[in-house]
Amino acid sequence: MSRPGRTFTEAAIAGIGATEFSKESGRSELQLAAECSLAACEDAGVNPADIDGMITFTIDNSDEVTLARCLGVKDLAYTARIPGGGAAAAATIFQAMALVNAGVCKNVLVWRAMNERSQYRFGQNPAQGQMSYSAGNGTGSLLWCVPFGAMTPASWGALQTSRYMHTYGVSNRDLGYLAVQQRAYAATNPKAWFYEKPITLEDHQNSKWIQEPWLRLLDCCQESDGGQALLITSLERARDLRQKPVKISGACQSIPYNVEVISNYYHDDLTIMPEAWGTAKRLYAQTGMQPSDMQAAMLYEAFSPHALMQLEAFGFCGKGEAKDFIKSGEIAIDGSLPINTHGGLLGEAYIHGMNSMAEGVRQVRGTSVNQVKKRKVENVLVSSGMAGAILSAV
């Protein structure tokens, strides 16, 4: 018999848990983290005391050990905090998978919890003393943006995508079709902040400019309070747990040379997201799958153009074709690739991308409120640009 920790073990997502998504949680970020983590464990049927790995990403204010102390974790074997903020959302799944694959951990908790609307605001100019350009936050080159009036994520994102939109003739109205579809998904999702609040293309076009002439208000993710956690364990163990196991068929990170988070202006070709192309290449090589093997995708969209650029990076359409792909209804529930079926970060909430990871799990389980039914869901792509995973039915 081989020694423990020296065998390859398939990994699966066994539990998901979240708090409500709001604009004012009324409690601490640590409490949100503890509540969603407990919910993920209960969903799986795993005792929180048995968690032995904990992973989050930068710009989370809750300390690992403090959270472990809330949950009564009795013997933590591994912790990590992945750089890049929301770009690392899918990287949590990758690193948890790798730990389980290597036999280093048995029950890995990944989480993100924030009061990003009531306690502080990502979307506003940074307040005095609040400008924390700390290593790992993915904010390296923001020093080179802020004195010029590019002070918000929307401004950094617009500078990043305007060359793409210009090159392929993507108008702001074209982006509206994405916002309308995602708000339609949110409208039928009781957990979404914009539940029962669909929009029309005219609503989109009447919303105020945030970044002229690229992004309107309805192209931007929300600012939200809330927490989201996932529990990753071995596929073998997950089969015996409470929920239908969701196998992690492949997962990876990709940070090509000269790419950085959001102030991402220094790589060769600003009409693509090289990190998403890198993630796609690695994921398809790992799994032997191709775009047509996916029945749905959750694509990180802090700002709507990034969803278009990821559709192209993952090969769901050609370069410059995403606007027509969206306009023709391919991302609707009966289309060839429904995306962000919970309403996404625009419609459900902005839990820094982690809530989109959870929707990927629900689609594989068959429990989404906007369940893909046209084809049986075998594989779902979840992407945060710099990382991605393919979640599969077993």
Partner 1 sequence: MTEATEAPATPKPTRIAPIVTLDSKSFWDAADREEFVGQKCGDCGQFTFPPRPMCPHCHSLARVEVKLSGYGTVHSYTIPRHPHPFGFKEAPVVAVILLDEGIRFVSNVVGVTPEDMKFDMPVEVMFEPTMNQHKLPVFRPRSTR
H helix or E strand, kind and range, residue 389: strand 387-392
Q: Using CA atoms, how far apart are residues 181 and 186, in angstroms rounded to an integer?
A: 9
Q: Is residue 212 a contact residue for partner 1 (CB under 8 A)?
A: yes
Q: Which is nearer to partner 1, 72 or 213 (CB)?
A: 213
Q: How far is CA 146 from the centre of its chain?
A: 26
108-115 β-sheet, strand order: 78-82, 53-57, 108-115, 225-234, 11-18, 246-253, 387-392, 379-383, 296-299
Say if residues 388 and 91 touch (Cβ distance below 8 Å).
Answer: no
Choose the stretch contacting partner 1; rule: CB under 8 A; options: 124-132, 300-308, 344-352, 386-394: 124-132
Q: Which amino acid is at 19?
A: T
Q: Which residues on adjacent β-strands are paired with residue 380?
A: 296, 391
- Which residues have a Cβ under 8 Å from the Cβ of 49 and sit 6 or more positions away? 71, 72, 73, 74
Q: Is residue 234 a contact residue for partner 1 (CB under 8 A)?
A: no
Q: Which is nearer to partner 1, 125 or 290 (CB)?
A: 125
Between the alpha carbon of residue 340 and those of residues 108, 178, 218, the distances in Å are: 25, 10, 15
Choose the stretch contacting partner 1; rule: CB under 8 A; options: 28-36, 70-78, 169-177, 203-211: 203-211
Q: Using CA atoms, how far apart are residues 376 and 367, in angstroms rounded to an integer?
A: 12
- Residues 164, 168, 185, 350: which is the catalytic one? 350
Encoding tokens for residue 179?
């916002």
Q: Is residue 143 a contact residue for partner 1 (CB under 8 A)?
A: yes
Total number of residues that touch partner 1 (CB under 8 A): 38
Q: Which is nearer to partner 1, 146 or 298 (CB)?
A: 146
Choose the stretch contacting partner 1; rule: CB under 8 A; options: 1-9, 36-44, 99-107, 154-162: 154-162
Among the listed residues 4, 213, 318, 329, the single contact to partner 1 using CB under 8 A: 213
Among the listed residues 7, 61, 119, 125, the single contact to partner 1 using CB under 8 A: 125
The b-or-e profile of 376-391 (16+ CB within 10 A means b, else e) is: ebbbbbbbbbbbbbbb
Q: Which is nearer to partner 1, 126 or 335 (CB)?
A: 126
Q: Is residue 120 a contact residue for partner 1 (CB under 8 A)?
A: no
Choose the stretch contacting partner 1; rule: CB under 8 A; options: 85-93, 208-216, 334-342, 364-372: 208-216
**195 noted as active-site residue:** no
The site string for partner 1 over 33-72 (x = CB under 8 A, - otherwise) reads ----------------------------------------
The site string for partner 1 over 70-109 (x = CB under 8 A, - otherwise) reads ----------------------------------------
Say if residues 301 and 185 touch (Cβ distance below 8 Å).
Answer: no
Q: How far is CA 353 from the centre of its chain?
A: 3
Q: Is residue 209 a contact residue for partner 1 (CB under 8 A)?
A: yes
**CB 192 to partner 1: min, Å:** 23
Q: Is residue 320 a contact residue for partner 1 (CB under 8 A)?
A: no
Residues 156-175 that bind partner 1 (CB under 8 A): 158-160, 162-163, 166
Q: How far is CA 266 from the centre of its chain?
A: 24
**CB 350 to partner 1: min, Å:** 17
Encoding tokens for residue 167?
């090159």
**300 noted as active-site residue:** yes
Choose the stretch contacting partner 1; rule: CB under 8 A; options: 99-107, 259-267, 326-334, 357-365: 259-267
The strand ranges marked E within 77-152 are 78-82, 108-115
Q: Using CA atoms, how far apart are residues 248 and 90, in angstroms rounded to an integer?
A: 11
Q: Is residue 8 a contact residue for partner 1 (CB under 8 A)?
A: no
Q: Is residue 148 a contact residue for partner 1 (CB under 8 A)?
A: yes
Q: Using CA atoms, how far apart are residues 347 and 201, in angstroms rounded to an integer?
A: 15
Find the farthest-apart pair of alpha carbons in the chain and give their distance in angstroms, rounded: 66
Say if residues 351 and 112 touch (Cβ distance below 8 Å).
Answer: yes
**CB 258 to partner 1: min, Å:** 8
Q: Which is nearer to partner 1, 8 or 209 (CB)?
A: 209
As annotated, the active-site residues are: 300, 350
Q: Which residues bind partner 1 (CB under 8 A)?
A: 123-125, 131, 133, 140-141, 143-152, 154-155, 158-160, 162-163, 166, 208-214, 217, 257, 263, 265-266, 270
